[in-house]
Structure 1
């Protein structure tokens, strides 16, 4: 008589798919659970700054009638230039920080006969606003650089003889054009 009978085989054929299905469902639950833990346990996620930052001051410097070279000098190289839209430059900028919704800005410059015709896009932040957004407040404790009277009283005043080098030490020439040895001669 076989240890593995037909009854066992039928039961196994029913149990194995059920166990596999439960395992696959658990993978989805495990993925969701670990995703939540990953948000909590992530130690370092770098800030992502992509594209060309265009400030409010740079946009204010744009004037219709500028050449492509002048626009490039003012705004920098465009992030997107299309083969199909040769008279259009797109400047796109995104900033992603942990715990803050991603910020995205867009500016499009339109040219006609290699001269800036018009431009349109989002309201750009000024340079100082941008620095405030990416900067972090760092509280630096600056130590006091002056000694109090109580701290100075711990040290005896130096004698005037010790503070002034002897005349022989000042007049002694350096021998051989080099410094004297650090260790005394034996």
Structure 2
């Protein structure tokens, strides 16, 4: 099929306009000092928080007692991140949190067993749950927490609901004294 001559001319004009527009944009950006730096500071890639392992709190470590079985330890701390084939009496719990702009947090806890009962625990000082949550706060340090309780004066502005009339006491139905058979009669 042969295209008409004006179709080639239209495509050529469009392509020329695109090239001209691209060249004008590049020249405009090149002429502005520091535009590349400003543009790169406005457009930053999203970086995700990387959480690996089990978070172990101080409260969980305090709940451990020598003589506990493996299942009891697992119920308190969760499944260990590493169980070595060569060290069957040792469970390693490792927690790592990497966040952009914040120093990485790494904590380790090792639980040692003797005759399938917990013998002792070694590892880093663990934060309490409240301390850990506080360490997760974002870069905003001046977050205003709203007051969540109303004063008596604020409550007085709202009309009080009339007391609900108590429904007439109806006698509770009597339980059945005979029940249908559980199985159908055999034929």
- Normalising by the residue count of structure 1, what TM-score does the alignment of the two structures yield? 0.52
Q: Unpaired runs of 5+ in structure 2?
A: 1-39, 147-187
| Greater helix content | 1
* Other structure's SS at 2:98 match: strand
**TM-superposition CA deviations, 1:29-84 (whole Å, max 9, x none):** xxxxxxxxx89953310111110000000000111100000000010000000111
59, 64, 67: which one aligns with 1:65: 67
Is residue 130 of structure 1 aligned with residue 132 of structure 2?
Answer: yes
Q: CA deviation at 1:141?
A: 9.3
CA distance in structure 2 between the partners assigned to 1:58 and 1:51 by the alignment: 15
Q: CA deviation at 1:87?
A: 0.4
**Paired position in structure 1 for 2:10:** none
**Paired position in structure 1 for 2:97:** 95
Matched residues, number: 106
Is residue 53 of structure 1 aligned with residue 46 of structure 2?
Answer: no
How is 1:161-172 mapped onto 2 (pairs within 5 angstroms)? none
* Other structure's SS at 1:78 match: coil
How is 1:17-32 mapped onto 2 (pairs within 5 angstroms)? none
Bigger Rg, structure 1 or 2: 1
User: What is the RMSD of the two structures over their aligned residues, measured on CA atoms?
Assistant: 2.5
**Paired position in structure 2 for 1:82:** 84
**Paired position in structure 2 for 1:116:** 118
Q: CA deviation at 1:139?
A: 4.3
Q: Unpaired runs of 5+ in structure 1?
A: 1-37, 143-186
Identify if the C-alpha distance between structure 1 residues 67 and 94 changes in structure 2 by more than 3 Å, giving closer, same or farther: same
CA distance in structure 2 between the partners assigned to 1:93 and 1:39 by the alignment: 32
